[in-house]
Each structure stands twice: as structure tokens, then as C-alpha cells.
Amino acid sequence: MDNTTNSRQWRTIDIVVAAVIAVAFGVIFWAWGLVWKASDPAFAAAPATQAILYGVWLVPAVLGGLIIRKPGAALFCEAVAATVSALLGAEWGGITIVQGLIQGLGAELAFAAFAYRSFRLPTALLAGALTGLSAALFDFFVWNSEYGMGYRLTYGALTVVSAAIVAGLGGWLLTRALANTGVLDRFPAGRERAAV
């Protein structure tokens, strides 16, 4: 485990960077909603498989947790990104905010399971998978309740896989790429780049 953080207290820079991640991804969420809608015809034969695109909506939860490394970072980044998306006019409206809170909790649980001390690839993959699971459960009962069990299980499984790969692995790779530029030097993720 990486014991790289001495304090659980948020610094001003933690808040600013978390907000930047969240707002940037809020805009991406809004745009990704348009991509999702435009891709409907491509998945018409097997609509549940569209869930392979889901992971993009879950990246800030993992990325925020990997960079900030404090309790609440994953939840904050995902919830604020969802709020920005809703304010920009996401087609799913205000329920997007509730959805973002639930999705952020999934990643938060993964980081909490390791007492916010492990930020390696396996932890990132777990955070991605758990945020995908929380997203799938929300959708299972809210958006997909009228569909059959086969559809919902396929959709849920693909959401978890997409989240593990896109949000988990992708968030981890993005953290490393950002660290290599030096922009994260005030964070443990940036100071570790020489050791990775």
C-alpha cells in the first residue's frame, strides 16, 4: 500500500483541483450524452450492449480519488460533474445529480476499503468496477425497470466492465500522464512519478 498522505484534511488546492476535474468532466458528460443518443441506432439490434460506452461518465470519481487521495474526493468529483452536466441541460435532468452521488459512492467505497492508502492500478480498477456497479444498480431500478431481466443483467455487467476499463484503467493512466507533466507535483500522485 502507498502511505503517501499525512492528512485527511482538504487543502485549498485539493478543493480547486477537484472542482476543475468536476467541471471539466461535467462538460464532457453533457457532450457524452449527445454521443450516447447519437449512437442509439448502432446498438438497435442489442440495446443493452450500449452500456459499453458508460465508463466515460464514471472517470471523475476514480480520477478525483487517485489525485486528491482524501475521503470524499471521488464522491465530490462525480457529484459535481453530474450537477454541471444537469445544469448544462443533460437530457436526463435533475435526477442526474442523484445518479452522480450514487456513482461517486461506489468509487469512494473502493478507496475507503484501503483506508485511502492504496492508489495502485488494482485499487483504481476496483474503484472503477464499484462505481460501475453503483451506476448499474441505479439504472436497474430507475431507468431500466421496464426491461426484462436479461436486458438488465447484460446492461449491468457491461456497465461494470466499461467502468473498470474506462474509469478504472483510464483514470489511472490519466493520473500518471498528468503526473508526468509536473502539474500534480503538489500531490502525492505527482511526487510518485519518478518511482512508477
Q: Is residue 146 classed as helix, strand or coil in its secondary structure?
A: coil
Q: Does residue 195 have a pLDDT over 60?
A: no
Which three cell numbers, joined as nine digits, stand for 72?
Answer: 470524499
Instruction: Give residue-wise pLDDT tens across range 14-45.
Output: 999 999 999 999 999 999 999 999 999 999 99
Domains of the chain by residue range: 12-195
Q: Which residue has the higher pLDDT, 180 or 191?
A: 180
CATH number corresponding to 12-195: 1.10.1760
Residue 192 pLDDT class (50, 70, 90 cuts): confident
Q: What is the pLDDT of residue 5?
A: 43
CA-CA distance, 52 to 46, in Å (whole number)?
12
Alpha helices in 88-120 (DSSP H): 95-113
Q: What percent of the chain has pLDDT over 90?
A: 81
Is the four-CA dihedral 9, 97, 66, 107 of positive or negative sign? positive
